[in-house]
A and B are shown apart, each in its own frame.
Chain A
Amino acid sequence: MVLKYLIRENAYYDSVTLMIITREVKKIEGVKEVIVGVGTELNKELAGNLNLLTPELQKITPNDFFISLDSVDNNIAKKAFAFVDELLSKKKAESEDYQPSTFESALKYMPDANLVLISLPGKYAAREVKKALLNDKHVMLFSDNVSLEEEMDLKNLAKQSGLLMMGPDCGTAIINHISLAFANVVRKGPIGIVGASGTGMQEVTVMIDKLGSGISQAIGTGGRDLKAEVGGIMMIESIKALQHDPLTEVMVLISKPPDKEVAKKVLSILKEGEKPSVVYFAGGDPGVIKEYGSVPGLSLEDTARKAVAITKGMPTEDFTGFTVTNIDKIIQEEAKKLKKDQRYIRGLYTGGTLCDEAMIILSALIGDIYSNVPLKPEGKLSNINRSYKHSFIDLGDDEFTRGKPHPMIDPYVRQERILSEVKDREVAIILMDFVLGFGSNSDPAGEMIPYIQKARKIAAKDGRHIYIISSVCGTEADPQSLIGQEKKLKEEGVIVMPSNAQAVRLAAAIVLSRRNSQ
């Protein structure tokens, strides 16, 4: 006689399954006795009465599931457990829905589709977009590597048909409160956004949510929409749509500095609509925005704050400070811990617009910044893999992502990069963004933490202390949960600021404070 058992901690099975198991196992020739159940005292006692109790089974709790059986030999027991395993792990085959092979065929399965989301390789994308537009479907084109000519053609076609054609290279949109591609779960509200940048829209929508307001729509246009060639076709069409949208009370535009003529055209259309608006042309001239009656946003956070202020009938004050208390004390104390050589900030960004914003804010505060995507050509790093002085790296730029997943999905590049940055004795602060929401990695903070620990060890060996300052672009309703992500980072001693702008300012303040004290 051989006594064998199996324990599964914290496992629950419905009684139908357990009934079947008991019945079927008993049927196996060579099985003398079997008991199946949860580890309650009485079940264990019963097992004891049946001579099916082992010391290990003694220890289990009502939260554990067990099977114990008495059989003629080891082989029978093995066979029985293999069978139990099969019964317990039997997954009802998830029958996969049929996936049609072409757009035309998909239309047959969903003739009333209203949006086509395309993320095919760029060289094939235009052809499919055209089909979608010709069939009267709105399009979000996530793909890049679509030529400017194709973009112009497609956008003109969309405009003629009255359709949305978001993209190419449109990473973020929230249409009818559905997050498309990379977007956060934010509240419904009165603010309508048109943006030519993905993470820029993510940061603004998230900040609006954090301020207790919400958005009506967030329409992406793709990064080139406001170039002279494209002429802002989609931004203009989107503005018009939001102007007619009764749920949109305040408008927000986000873009890199547009072509001058295009900017004027866009702003004048915005003015015609008579809805109040906040415009963020990253690093652009706020004068022209004011001229057309819009409120210029100074940072993504400032843009969100002003938009929310308008919805509440409050004055739109420039915000360039902190919402965190005791910040001066933090700055002074932190600055003290730096060694003499530690002078520089290194930004390791997954979000392109966040990286841009960081450089814009920082260059005004502390001077020249080097980057793979510099604000000015002279700031271009000669080797993108080696930082120099104050360096900000957009790890989502083409040079890093060719043939690899975007760092918002796969943090590998940043994991490696932080280890090499920290070896540089002149580095004082590492700045990082963590972008949550649909599309992003399911645990961006958790993925970085082991590398933050490693980085800290490398610095500590050298007797240095490294500051890691971050902001998490996300909401509590995001799949990753803002609070959980922030908590993980804080537990590792990472300074978590409420916005990218504040994170950048804090970094600058620490460096400046150290500079002044020397």
Chain B
Amino acid sequence: MVQERIEAANKKVMEIILNGQPTLLDIGVAEEVIPGMTKITILHAGPPIKWEKMSGPLKGAVIGALIYEGLAVDEKEAAELAASGEISYNPCHHHKTVGPMAGVVSASMPVWILQNKKYSNYSYCTLNEGLGKVLRYGAYSDEVIKRLKWMENLLAPLLKQALKLHGPIDLKTMITQALQMGDEGHNRNRAGTSLLIRELAPYIIQTKFSEKEKIEVLKFIDSNDHFFLNLTMPAAKCTMDAVKNIEFSTIVTVMARNGTEFGIRVSGLGERWFTGPAGIVEGLLFPGYSAEDANPDIGDSVIAETVGIGGFAMAAAPAIVQFVGGTAKDAVNFTLKMYEITAAENNIYKIPALDFRGTPTGIDIRKVVETGILPSINTGIAHKDPGVGQIGAGLVKPPMNCFEDALQAFVEDLETKNLV
């Protein structure tokens, strides 16, 4: 009996996920558009965490955000404020938001505004800052703050105008195309970024900004292959939020890490987090860094895998198989393995190397626990000290206990309902 209920619920969930229509609408200011956002709110990646427990990159990003907001003048003051209890820390996921790496969002930051057209729910994400010393890796030096200000004052207003001229952008189609051009949507975003520039360039030209400013903006986007990641993520978020509380479903709706803990949420269990220690990413480190420099797994970007791309679409991105230490065939096998723990094959996201088979979509906690196969996540590696930045990229797996605990909670929930 209970099995049929679960299957029916999961079927419904998968329908909603596959029917999702993530669409880019606009750019706004966090405080004005993100629900529940205040001047003293700091959103961060992953499950809830206290200041004391935060890892280096997340602490650095918080300090940077406080300086950026003018709530503190320097690191020392910011750190004191951060620890004072006056700041309200909240997971992005509690605010329809997602953020890469540290994922820090503060009141005056510009954010992308997306909507799942099919189910009318919204999602938000900051604009990608580029590579090197950036806030999302915990850097807070003057140049970081300066760039954030530039983004607030030029990048965001200009793109907002261009978007207005262009009208809403169907991101699902764009992600689909990117997957067929060698992106997997998490560690490789070069195709997606290119597609976005191609779409927006004619409208950027038409904005009322100066030639020099337009060039600056286009160059900025062009210099950063991951620019599109900050659109893939909220696209996944608004797709998954549409199923965030469907009774009896065993499908994972959120996976996220805060640099200390990895957490998941399951559709049938609503907004509860199931957490375990964040893992160490295995992969290629940039020259000059060793495994000891690496921070545990961090960021909301794993929402990509939750919706069936990223590591799950590894077979689409042979260009980055060296991150998983192997051949194109290894990449294919990575993706094939994920079909073992997912509920459906994507109807839109397809992989050329697998004869356009849909990506494995919808992680079922029952299958994860039964097979012992954990989701494979593609991700960047942050330096453990604030402000150093990205030191590599590779592959990580969530801790098994998240899924086991969730399964136990799921059964207990059914027990209280006298269903098992």
Contacts and interface: CB of A to CB of B under 8 A. Distances in A.
* A–B direct contact (CB < 8 Å): yes
Contacts of A160: none
Interface in A96-110: 96, 98, 100-102, 105
B337 A101 contact: yes
B333 A105 contact: no
Given A96-B333, A98-B332, A98-B333, A105 B340 contact: yes
A105 B336 CA distance: 10
Contacts of A98: 332-333, 336-337
Nearest to A99: B333
Contact of A95 (B327, B336, B337, B371): B327
A35 B373 CA distance: 53
Interface string B336-350: 110110000000000
Main secondary structure of the interface of B (DSSP, over half): helix
Nearest to B332: A98
Nearest to B341: A101
A488 B370 CA distance: 50
Contact of A105 (B327, B329, B339): B339
B332 A102 contact: no
Contacts of A96: 329, 333
B373 A101 contact: yes
A101 B340 contact: yes
Contacts of A93: 327, 329
Nearest to A108: B339
Interface in A389-426: none
A66 to B, nearest CB: 33
A102 B337 CA distance: 11
A102 B336 contact: no
Interface string B356-377: 0000000000000011010000
A102 B329 contact: no
A101 B329 contact: no
Nearest to B327: A93
A100 B327 contact: no
A102 B364 CA distance: 15
Q: How large is the interface on B (under 10, 10 to 19, 20 to 34, 35 or more residues)?
A: 10 to 19
B7 to A, nearest CB: 14
Contacts of B327: 93, 95
Nearest to B367: A102
Contacts of B340: 100-102, 105
Interface string A342-376: 00000000000000000000000000000000000
Interface in B320-342: 327, 329, 332-333, 336-337, 339-340
A96 B334 CA distance: 12
B371 A102 contact: yes
A95 B329 contact: yes
Interface string B303-331: 00000000000000000000000010100
Contacts of A101: 337, 340, 371, 373
Contacts of A100: 336, 340
A93 B371 CA distance: 28
B257 to A, nearest CB: 25
B338 to A, nearest CB: 11
A117 to B, nearest CB: 21
Interface string B366-393: 0000110100000000000000000000
A95 B332 CA distance: 11
A100 B340 CA distance: 8
A98 B371 CA distance: 16
B312 to A, nearest CB: 15
A93 B332 CA distance: 15
Interface in A74-127: 93, 95-96, 98, 100-102, 105
A80 B315 CA distance: 36
A98 B328 CA distance: 12
B306 to A, nearest CB: 20
B390 to A, nearest CB: 29
Contacts of B371: 101-102
B67 to A, nearest CB: 49
Nearest to A109: B336
A474 to B, nearest CB: 37
Contacts of A102: 340, 370-371
Interface in B59-81: none
A406 B333 CA distance: 33
Interface string B79-109: 0000000000000000000000000000000
A102 B340 CA distance: 8
B188 to A, nearest CB: 22
A100 to B, nearest CB: 7
A100 B370 CA distance: 14
A96 B371 CA distance: 21
Contacts of B337: 98, 101
A192 to B, nearest CB: 40
B372 to A, nearest CB: 8
A208 B340 CA distance: 46
Contacts of A95: 327, 329
B128 to A, nearest CB: 34
B371 to A, nearest CB: 5
Nearest to A100: B340
Contacts of B339: 105
A93 B330 CA distance: 11
A105 B333 CA distance: 14
A105 B345 CA distance: 14
A458 B271 CA distance: 76
Contacts of A105: 339-340
A355 to B, nearest CB: 40
A96 B336 CA distance: 13
Nearest to A94: B329
A98 B329 CA distance: 9
Nearest to B335: A98
A107 to B, nearest CB: 12
A93 B370 CA distance: 32
A98 B340 CA distance: 12
Given A98-B336, A100-B336, A101-B373, 14 more contacts: A93-B329, A95-B327, A95-B329, A96-B329, A96-B333, A98-B332, A98-B337, A100-B340, A101-B337, A101-B371, A102-B340, A102-B371, A105-B339, A105-B340
For the complex of A and B, the 7 pairs showing the least CB-CB separation, nearest first, are A95-B329, A98-B336, A101-B340, A98-B333, A101-B371, A93-B327, A105-B340
Interface of B: 327, 329, 332-333, 336-337, 339-340, 370-371, 373
21 contacts: A93-B327, A93-B329, A95-B327, A95-B329, A96-B329, A96-B333, A98-B332, A98-B333, A98-B336, A98-B337, A100-B336, A100-B340, A101-B337, A101-B340, A101-B371, A101-B373, A102-B340, A102-B370, A102-B371, A105-B339, A105-B340
Interface of A: 93, 95-96, 98, 100-102, 105
